[in-house]
Structure 1
Amino acid sequence: MPASKNIEWKKVILGIGFTFLFAIVGYLLAYIPGINRVGPLAAAIILAIIYRQIFGYPEFLRTGIQFSSKHLLRLAIILYGLKLNISIIFEDGLGLLAKGAAAILFSVLLTVYLAKKFKANQQLALLLGVGTGVCGAAAIAAVSPIIKAKEEDTAIGVGIIALVGTVFSIIHAILQPFLPLTDLQYGVWSGLSLHELAHVALAAEPAGEDALAIALLAKLGRVFLLVPLCFVLIFWMKYRKSTDENGQAKVTFPWFLLGFIGMSIIGSYVLGSIIPFSEAAMGATGYITTFILTSAMVGLGLNVSLKDVKNKALAPLLAMVITSILLSVLMYWIVIM
């Protein structure tokens, strides 16, 4: 193998290892009281952003870092499909699926509308709308290549979703004893209105096991709808491209979505029934998936320049916060109907 090839592979391995190091530190930080509410993903990406501002981008490791932010990101999305049990959704969650669809439609349209009124960055607003409506960082990561979002916008969106979602989940948990809702109603409300799976679990756990189970079911219904939403965005991007001056519609198909669907089918109908697979093994797989996703997000975080964030992120953040509040109100009203 030529020497140049060896050097290139070394850069790739070292760059991946660099993102892994940040992910490990993020996990360690997440054990600290207070930071544990935010989670390892947000801790790692914030750490990466801080590193970039102080030391600059590590150019020597760019190839490996980009490998993490692109290829490992897609691998994490594929593995994320194992968390989606399709059979449970079809058996018990069809009603919640319809409500989840309403939550997604409301979140995306309102966030984009408000961002337009605020003259905000439209791509970042769309990412935040999808993250709010579907499943936080994973949804942003899945949609980002479809709408050809900048890596900086993707990283900012993930950071905002993680932080705002954590705040909302804590608010939910604080309000729970004072709301005129049964435990099951509270679980459904949390599952339909909060951002990440982790946020739903954080908010619903104090209400008991039944509330947590129905909350996660409601949330998984929204995760299930990520796939049709991605296809809608593909057609939308093609339509937009077809109206450009050159008349061409070049939208790369996100093949990793097929992997996501395949893993969902395997997790739902193969593992545990046809192929023995324990809960411990599933838990370990989930842990690995989160670690890979965290490492990929570190790669994105290293692309963030805070000089641009001030002018770019404040208006989309405001749009997302308003949308999140109104989504909680709307879903609360739907639950008590």
Structure 2
Amino acid sequence: MVLAVDGLRMRYGSTEVLHDVSFQARHGEVVALLGPNGAGKSTTIEILEGFRLRSAGTVEVLGVDPARGDERWRARLGIVLQSWRDHGNWRVRELLHHLGTYYAPYSTSTIDRPWETGELLAAAGLTEHAEKKVKTLSGGQRRRLDVAIGIVGRPELLFLDEPTTGFDPQARHEFHDLVRRLAAEYETTILLTTHDLDEAGKLADRILILTGGRIVAAGSPAELTTLIAGEDEVRWSIDGQTYRKSTADSTEFVRGLFSQYGAAVRELEVRRASLEDTYLALVRDGLAGGREPAA
């Protein structure tokens, strides 16, 4: 197991911001930690990275308690922050080569650190931009460089914090392709924090919904849709009178509607329940304290 978190709690003074958070991540898995601002995502990640000491609970990252992680352990991690704005005058290739030299002492019998620079450029989709200065890169290219910096030491676990904030659709699409490739081809375990439900659904093998410092639901995108899906809404009119009905099975309801009223049914509209609807409901309930943590 790459990540094992059990009963994690974090308290600032009298305020508890994480309440009994528990989850795991396996080798090569993409896990999305999804929740609104202030849900506790960043605090959770900082504890896992070893940058913040927890108040209670047990945490193992690559078999080590992050509070006791040494330099060799840190060399096994990759971290991509929301934004980096340093190194503007470096050229892409020379920057990645320079940063890679810091990881060379931490090679093992099974993992050769760092990446060869040309291979890293190709993996991040930066080969054609290798000789450009960092300050001349577009937003999408810069984000690819951020990821390249994060994986230069061939990490076994990669943390991505709100990775596509401010991206245009094309840059977002390209970045998603890169994340999928890292997981599928290079077997990198990825923990992604986001407040974007669509992004989590596209990238993650498993989604953890965190709100109010608690995990209120967990599962694959398909499992969550089934588990927490709300009701569909059916609207129609008969003889100029408009009707509305919420139902768990809109297909069966519409079939019965036509069986009873036939051609008299007009202006039929079915609004399917979405994962977004139920996510928002979970967030509202969580902030109101209306749900217990997910098992």
Which structure has greater strand proportion?
2
Query: In which range does the TM-score fall when normalised by the shorter chain?
Result: under 0.3
TM-score scaled by length of structure 2: 0.25
Q: Which has the higher contact order (CA 8 A, sep 6+)?
A: 1
Of structures 1 and 2, the larger Rg is shown by: 2
Which structure has greater helix proportion?
1
